[in-house]
Structure 1
């Protein structure tokens, strides 16, 4: 089993402004914003060192990400761990009593993802992504 930190997600109200800032900060080109309709977000990725940063901009007004901005003004949203044993990891984690937030779905990279309830993961929203 190989698990790696896939990305750190940051919620922003303006993805173009955030993209410009993180390009300047990292010295790298960010990906063009991409709509992920199933998650109701626009996303862009930029690499800093060996870490990927995912920028999340809400798509619509009544979405989890728009509510995050309304309540917190944006900021760090979640960490994503990539696993080559996606289904086994879900089972192993949920067998310990950790709840999921729904069923697996397709994420920004076209891979299966699932989120674990932050109340069960030390107040950190954790996303698991299939390798």
Structure 2
């Protein structure tokens, strides 16, 4: 985890704080795609059918992600809170497609999830 001292000007007052950021994991470039927004992801994935897809975007993106679920088998990794799981179920996600876990996640854990759920 990286941390650094930062400063912000809020309502005319300088506020000092320590910012913590997770170290970015390098997964290489093979079969790695970058997108500017969720709509680009949905367009990209709509080109495929019957693929296992994993979303780690959280419960706030579940409604938009339903467009992916219509053509593919979508798994969602969300926080293990009652509200997140209830939201997923109310939107029609099956329990078998809900992975309720809290990070941070190591590269090894992410790879294990991809293999376990046969993510394409």
Class of the TM-score when normalised by the shorter of the 2 chains: under 0.3
Q: Normalising by structure 1, report the TM-score.
A: 0.23
Higher relative contact order (CA 8 A, sep 6+): 1
* Higher normalized strand content (fraction of residues): 1
* Higher normalized helix content (fraction of residues): 2
**Considering only CA atoms, is the larger Rg found in Structure 1 or Structure 2?**
2
Q: Normalising by structure 2, report the TM-score.
A: 0.24
